[in-house]
A and B are shown apart, each in its own frame.
Chain A
C-alpha cells in the first residue's frame, strides 16, 4: 500500500492551510516529501523559496545548547572557530522578533516541552522560509497556549509565509485555518475552504464513514482499589511530586496533562520500573517502594506503556511470543499458542496469524496485542499510558472500548493521556497533572474544559 498516492497539493503565500487525516493516512509522509527529506517515487515538489519543517517529535539535540541547535550547520564564524557571542546574540534577536523568547545558553534537555518547541520553531525561522510546515504543532501545548501559538503563526502568514499545519485536532482546524485538505489511506479525499465545512463533515471524510461507537459505561458501585498518598517519583527527566489520589475498582480515572508534567514518572513508578516515596496500596495492601515489575505484575497491576515499539514488544518475534510477554511464567509453556490465539480473536488482530512477525504489523494491530495482553486474566488495576497513540481510529475505538469493558467488569483503570478528547470520552473522574503535581479533580458531570486547560498550563 502506498503511503502517499497521487497527491496534488497547492499552498499559497500567506495562507494557513490544514492537512488532516487519521494516524496512518499519510499526512506526515506528505509533509516530509514537501520538506525534501523524503524523495517521492513519482511526481514533483516545487517551492518558491526555503521550506521549513517543525517536526512532531522534535529534532533537537538534547545535550547541546539552544543556540547550537538553532544555528546548527549555519554557525557564525570567526576565522576557523565559531563566534559564540554572535551566535547567542542572533538567537536572542530572533526570539525577540517573533515573540518566542528563549535563553540561548540553556541546555535543551533542561527545557520544558513547550519551550523546546520554540527552539525547534526558531531553528526553522532563522532560515527565513517561504513555506513552513508544522507537524502536530499543538500536541505539547496547554489549551491556553494554543491561541497564542496560532497568533504567532498568523503573524508569520501575514508576512507572506505559506503555512501548512498537519493535525488531527479538528477544533483547531475550524478555528484557525483558511483551507483544509483531507487525506485518507494515502490519497486526498476532500478539499474545502474551512468556512464551508464543519468538524463533523471532516471527521466523516477522514474515516470514510461514521466513526465507530464507544462501548457503553455501566452503572457501577465503587470499591476502593488503589490509594496513593504523597506519592512521589522520578523517571529520567519526569518528576511526580506528592500525588494523593484514589482509583476505585470499576472506574476510569483520567490523568489530563501536557506531555512532560510527570506522567512518565507516574506510570513508571506504578509499573515498578522506578522507586517511589510516599505510600501506595492496592486492595488494602501496601506496595513496596522498590518493588520490581515482576512483583507489580503478580499483584495484578498491568501497565500499557507509552512507547509500544521499545517498551512493550519484541519486534523481531512473532505474535505468539509477544502475546505471552508479561505472563510467560504464569501460562505453561505448552499453552502459549492457545493464549495467543485467544488474544488474536478477542482483539481482532490482523492478520490473525500467531506466526506473523510483530514488527511488520500496523501500529494499530501492535497496540491491540499490547492492550490485549494487559487486559488478559482480569487484572485488578490497569495503567493505560497513551493507549491510542499513533493508531487508526478503528483500533483506537476498540482499545478504548475494551478499557471501558474492563472497567464495567470491576477493574480500575488509570488513563494517562495527552488527548483531552480521549479523557473526556472515557473517564469517570479527571485529575489534572501540571508540573508534577495534581492540580485539580473533576467528576464527569462537572468537567470544565476551560478550567482544566488553565490548570494544565499551570495557572491556578
Chain B
C-alpha cells in the first residue's frame, strides 16, 4: 500500500518532469517542423503574454480548462475516473445556448438561467455513469468514454433537428441575446466574469473537501473504500454525487464558453478541453488551489499554441502531444486507490 507523498520532493520532481517534457519534446517537434525552438517558443510565449489582450486570452483558456479540471479532480478524489468531461462540457454549452436563445429574459435573470442550465445539463450527463456505477457497479471509465461520443452526437442531432431554432447556422444555435451574455472584464477580449467565478469555485471546492463532513466522506470513499463503507459511508451515493458534481462543473464550463466567448453554442466549442483538463487536474495534484496554477500553465500553452502555429508555423498539435506526454509522466501519481469493478 503506497503513501501519497506530501508536499515536498515529489511535487518538485513532477514539475521538473513537466518542464522537461514541454521544452524537450516541444523543441524536438519544432526542429522536425524546420522551426528553431527559439522561434517556436518565442512565438508561443509572445502569443501568450505579448499584449494586454493576449494575456486576457491566456486567462480565457485557463478559465475554460479550470472548470472541467475542478470537476475531474473532484471525481478523482472520490476514487472515480471522469473521462467524460468533454461530453458534459458540450451538453452544458448546448443547454446554455439553446435556453438562452429560446427564452428572452432581463440580464439579472438570463445570465443565471443560462449558467444554471449548463450546470444542470452537465450534472445530469455526469449522473448517468454515476448511477451506473452506484446501482450496477459498472466501470465508469468505459461509461464516460462512451457517453463522450454520444454527447456530441446528441447535441448535433438536437441542434440541427428537433430543437433547431430560427436564425441559426449549421450545428449551432442563434446568437444569444445580449442580456444572456457574460460581461467582459477586459475590453477587446473574451475574458469575462467566468474567470472570477472559476476562481471562487476553486476556493469553495477546496473548503468543501477539507473543511466539511461531506468532503471528509468523499475523500474517504476515494482513499479507502472498504474502510469508508464500514464507517457508514454510502459508496453508491457518494459515487453518484461525485460524478454529478463533476459533470456539473464541466457543464458550467461549457455554459461560460457559450455565454462569455462565443455567444452561441457550436458543436466545435471545445478543442478538447475535457481531455486537457485531465492533465491540468494531475499537474495540480488534485488540489483545487494548485489546479488554478496548473490551469494557468496550460492556458499559456493553449493560447500561445495558436500564435505559435500562426507566427512560427508549428502545428498546434505539438501542444496536445506534450499534454498527452505530461499525463503519462504524471500517471505515477497514484490517483485512485486500487479496487475492482467490472
Which of A's residues lie within 8 Å of B, judged by CB?
271, 273, 292-294, 297, 303, 305, 309-317, 321, 325-326, 328-329, 333, 357, 359-360
Interface window among B57-65, B166-174, B228-236: B228-236
B217 within 8 A of A: yes
Q: Are A314 and B232 in contact (CB under 8 A)?
A: no
Q: Kindly state the separation between the CA atoms of A316 and B1 in the bound complex, as whole angstroms.
A: 9
Return the contact of B1 from the options A271, A303, A315, A326 (Cβ within 8 A): A315
A-B pair count, CB < 8 Å, reads: 63
Overall SS of chain B's interface = helix
Q: Kindly state the separation between the CA atoms of A292 and B213 in the bound complex, as whole angstroms.
A: 19
B211 within 8 A of A: yes
Q: Are A293 and B1 in contact (CB under 8 A)?
A: no
Top 5 closest pairs, chain A to chain B, by CB: A294-B232, A314-B224, A326-B231, A325-B231, A297-B232
B22 within 8 A of A: no
Within 211-244 of B, Cβ neighbours of A (below 8 Å) are at: 211-213, 216-217, 220, 223-224, 226-234
Within 1-36 of B, Cβ neighbours of A (below 8 Å) are at: 1, 3-4
Q: Specify which chain B residues have a CB less than 8 angstroms from the CB of A326 in the assembled complex.
A: 230-232
Q: Kindly state the separation between the CA atoms of A293 and B228 in the bound complex, as whole angstroms.
A: 10
In the complex, what residue of chain B is closest to A315 when comparing beta carbons?
Answer: B1
Return the contact of B3 from the options A273, A303, A325, A360 (Cβ within 8 A): A360
Q: How far is the CB of A265 from chain B (nearest CB, A)?
A: 15
Q: Are B232 and A315 in contact (CB under 8 A)?
A: no
Q: Specify which chain B residues have a CB less than 8 angstroms from the CB of A359 in the assembled complex.
A: 1, 3
Given A297-B231, A310-B226, 15 more A-B residue pairs with CB atoms under 8 Å apart are A271-B230, A293-B231, A293-B232, A294-B232, A294-B233, A294-B234, A311-B230, A313-B224, A314-B224, A316-B4, A316-B223, A316-B224, A321-B216, A326-B231, A328-B220
Q: Kindly state the separation between the CA atoms of A333 and B234 in the bound complex, as whole angstroms.
A: 19
Q: Kindly state the separation between the CA atoms of A69 and B210 in the bound complex, as whole angstroms.
A: 47
Q: Are A328 and B229 in contact (CB under 8 A)?
A: no
Q: Are A312 and B230 in contact (CB under 8 A)?
A: yes
Q: Are A292 and B223 in contact (CB under 8 A)?
A: no
Q: Kindly state the separation between the CA atoms of A273 and B226 in the bound complex, as whole angstroms.
A: 10
Q: How far is the CB of B9 from chain A (nearest CB, A)?
A: 16
Q: Kindly state the separation between the CA atoms of A209 and B103 in the bound complex, as whole angstroms.
A: 83
Q: Specify which chain B residues have a CB less than 8 angstroms from the CB of A292 in the assembled complex.
A: 232, 234
Q: Specify which chain A residues have a CB less than 8 angstroms from the CB of B1 in the assembled complex.
A: 309, 315, 359
Q: How far is the CB of A383 from chain B (nearest CB, A)?
A: 11
Q: Are B229 and A325 in contact (CB under 8 A)?
A: no
Given A292-B234, A325-B227: A314 touches B3 (CB 8 Å cut-off): no
Q: Are A328 and B217 in contact (CB under 8 A)?
A: yes
Q: Specify which chain B residues have a CB less than 8 angstroms from the CB of A325 in the assembled complex.
A: 220, 227-228, 231
Q: Kindly state the separation between the CA atoms of A407 and B217 in the bound complex, as whole angstroms.
A: 31
Q: Are A328 and B230 in contact (CB under 8 A)?
A: no
Q: Specify which chain A residues have a CB less than 8 angstroms from the CB of B224 in the assembled complex.
A: 310, 313-316
Q: How far is the CB of B125 from chain A (nearest CB, A)?
A: 28
Q: How far is the CB of A385 from chain B (nearest CB, A)?
A: 11
In the complex, what residue of chain B is closest to A305 when comparing beta carbons?
Answer: B230
Within 45-84 of B, Cβ neighbours of A (below 8 Å) are at: none
Q: Specify which chain B residues have a CB less than 8 angstroms from the CB of A294 in the assembled complex.
A: 232-234
Return the contact of B230 from the options A303, A309, A315 (Cβ within 8 A): A303
Given A294-B232, A316-B4: A333 touches B213 (CB 8 Å cut-off): yes
Given A321-B216, A333-B213: A316 touches B3 (CB 8 Å cut-off): yes
In the complex, what residue of chain B is closest to A326 when comparing beta carbons?
Answer: B231
Q: How far is the CB of A61 from chain B (nearest CB, A)?
A: 16
Q: Specify which chain A residues have a CB less than 8 angstroms from the CB of B223 in the assembled complex.
A: 314, 316-317
Q: Specify which chain B residues have a CB less than 8 angstroms from the CB of A315 in the assembled complex.
A: 1, 3, 224
In the complex, what residue of chain B is closest to A332 when comparing beta carbons?
Answer: B213
